[in-house]
A and B are shown apart, each in its own frame.
Chain A
Amino acid sequence: MLTGLALFLSVLFSSILAGYLGSLTGLGGGTILVPILTLYDGIPIIYATGASLISTISTSSGAASAYIKDRITNVKLGMSLEIATTAGSIVGSLTVAYIYEHHLAYIIYIIFGIVLIGSIYPTITKGKRELPEPKPQDWTTRFFQLYGDYYDSALGKQVNYWGIRWWLGEIIMFFAGFISGLLGIGSGALKVLGMDYAMNLPMKVTTTTSNFMIGVTAATGSSIYWALGYIQPLIAAPTAIGVLLGALIGTKTLVKLKNRRIRTIFTILLGFLGIQMILRGLGIV
């Protein structure tokens, strides 16, 4: 049993690793951080999810400050969807409080396992197409002013786009917020899925706007986690620093590494951790 400085360093190292891989794949740190902390560092799941949720604020805010400068983030889109993510996060945090109070933590392990395995799909398909096929504008496009444009340096042209089916995006975002509050993760993959498939937006807009939204969603859940006592200061401390550090290293090396190999390794890791979390939930390991 590690205690003291050894435990601190072990959590710090796990967090750097999670932040690094999360940044390289665009999935965020939390999804693999919680399983690593619970399965390998032996941190109780309550403290692992608490530390993870609060750490997503630092990576999200850190990255968002850079993205806003690029003018790719669609602030209106993000803000209008945050109504649903914050509401979802409140419901999710209160649900998880009920689950722990009734000693049903195994449910969280199983749902976490399912989310990990479910994250494999967007990880594999991500980056296949940069721009969606334009679809006709609907009334939500006009009412919520879901227009935007940005300069795409990779494509070398100005991209004009618009979002559709705002209401469907809103429903998916409520669910993303719920999962964020329930599992202590940013649930960026779900947010990207919602904007990509439901609202037909370009990949660059969905990823940066999703990142922009994670901080506000996580701040909502973290406040409730705080009152519930899910945040252990000396576990949250190395996590917040580690994930941010890992993400910074990730952004710096992003261009140098072969993306496909990282993606393959990450996919295997997601499946492996997912199966382990489900087995832990079922009481097998």
Chain B
Amino acid sequence: MDINDVIGLSLRIGVIVSVILIATGSLLTFVEHGSNGYSVSELLSRTSVVNSSTASFNFIVNSVSQFTGLGLIYLGLVVLIATPVIRVMLSVLYFALDKNLLYTIVTAIVLFNLLIAIFVIPIFVVHN
């Protein structure tokens, strides 16, 4: 099994896990007539105030540990975003093992851009 197979497999697992989490979370939200203290109509209306700006790391961890519908959906979406990040990490490893200096640097720059977008920019865009 070479690294391309590992990358392909990790992409597939990421998508499958994320879809299962999102589907389970959605189902749970409807079965329990809401989630995290919100009713279904509060969660699902065009003017809903529930969105990712309130989904902090702590909020997601707490919701998932209480097995709420909203928590599972958020976790599924996080897994979805993390899937390409893992792919890029594996690619850095692949080129490093291949002793291809240029492409180790190239993939490291891509990873750097991704990590800036995930961890640094959010600090500046959220003012309140």
Task: Name A's B-contacting residues (CB within 8 A).
Answer: 1, 3-5, 7-8, 42-44, 47, 50, 54, 57-58, 60-62, 64-66, 68-69, 71, 75-76, 79-80, 82-83, 86-87, 89-90, 93-94, 97, 143-145, 215-216, 218-238, 240-241, 244
Residues of B within 8 A of A144 (CB): 102
Residues of A within 8 A of B48 (CB): 47, 232, 234-235
Task: Name B's A-contacting residues (CB within 8 A).
Answer: 4-5, 7-9, 11-12, 14-15, 18-19, 22-23, 25-26, 29-30, 40-41, 43-48, 50-55, 70, 73-74, 76-77, 80-85, 87-88, 91, 100, 102-103, 106-107, 109-110, 113-114, 116-118, 121-122, 125-126
> How far apart are A168's CB and chain B's nearest CB, in angstroms?
17
Residue of B nearest to A236 (CB): B77
Residue of B nearest to A87 (CB): B113
Residue of A nearest to B48 (CB): A232
Residue of B46, B87, B117 ringed by the most chain A CB atoms within 10 A: B117
Residue of A nearest to B70 (CB): A233
Residues of B within 8 A of A90 (CB): 113, 116-117, 121
* CA–CA, A232 and B51, complex, Å: 4
* CB-contact partner of A216 in B4, B9, B80, B88, under 8 A: B88
* CA–CA, A71 and B4, complex, Å: 9
Residues of A within 8 A of B73 (CB): 233-234, 236-237
Across the interface, do A94 and B84 meet the contact criterion of CB distance under 8 Å? no
* CA–CA, A49 and B116, complex, Å: 21
Across the interface, do B84 and A216 meet the contact criterion of CB distance under 8 Å? yes
> How far apart are B126's CB and chain A's nearest CB, in angstroms?
5
Residues of B within 8 A of A60 (CB): 84
